[in-house]
Amino acid sequence: MQQLRAALAVPAIVSIFLLAAVGLQGQSREHHILVSVLDPDDAPVGGLGISDFSIDEDGNSREILSVSQAGAGRQIALLVDTSQAATRSLVEFRNGLTAFVEQMSEGNQISIITFGGPPRIQVALTRETSRLTDGIGNLFALPDQAAYMLDALDQTAEGFSRQNASRPLIVVLTTEGIDYSYTSARRVIDTIEESGAAIYTLSLRVGRNAFSATPNISTLELRNQDFERDLLLERGPRNSGGRHRDLLTSLAINDAMQDIVSELLNQYLVVYSRPDTLVPPETITVRMNRQELTARGTPLRLE
């Protein structure tokens, strides 16, 4: 009789396990994404709610749970071209960086990294505006030095990954001077993706300086360097939810930096649910339900 009872108990245990497995499969997890919403004039749009957004993952619609202002809590790296090609633009670089820091330092951590010559940390991550403005005041173009923008981006993104940064952001001020980076654009794009950082780039297109740190560099090598830099400037911001702009004069830098500030201060934090699966989605698409609006999103990895 005891053996019969034991045998009858087995199906009940199996049923419990099956029910538990079904329950786990039906669970959903919250995921967060920072979203910039712009009108046809590229101005940030405020006052939006859940009904204004749609999110798809690999073509599957997801339920949006909440929409709120993104707020602060960012880790921001300002990457600055201090190569010889930036000599005539450093005053405008400093002015634009100062305006950015004064508006974005509250509640955020900011660092300054230069890439005239090998990348160097000018100011480590800090919330102290005075330290940042002092560091900006000490930015100067270095004679006989090329840019190393790709190396700087790669190392900065790797640093964010090591620090498990929750809201990493990289802003790049660069010229179209010669870049002697050792890192390929595709490697940098992958490193940025792994870090979860959004990339904003401003490229000053005012003509190439005749300077070359290696007089014997070939035309083919120059073309390859240009290709790698331009590939990164085009795909890095686009893939990460950031933005790239070409500037035709250094006088436009301050307004362009202000546009980035305005966009960041008006970003949304969108929280949505995803079924608990082992395989993450390959694509996440944010769409606006008003046709005149456009959106760009950066998924948050650690919130």
Question: pLDDT tens digits for 41-51?
Answer: 999 999 999 99
The H or E element spanning position 172 is strand 168-175
pLDDT exceeds cutoff 90 at 34: yes
Tokens 């702009």, located at residue: 245
Question: pLDDT tens digits for 93-132?
Answer: 999 999 999 999 999 999 999 999 999 999 999 999 999 9
pLDDT at residue 12 in the model: 37
DSSP assignment of 104-120: H-TTSEEEEEE-BSS-E
pLDDT at residue 20 in the model: 37
Q: In whole angstroms, give the CA distance from residue 11 to residue 269.
A: 47
Residue 239 token pair = 């893939």
pLDDT at residue 298 in the model: 97
**What does pTM read for this prediction?**
0.88
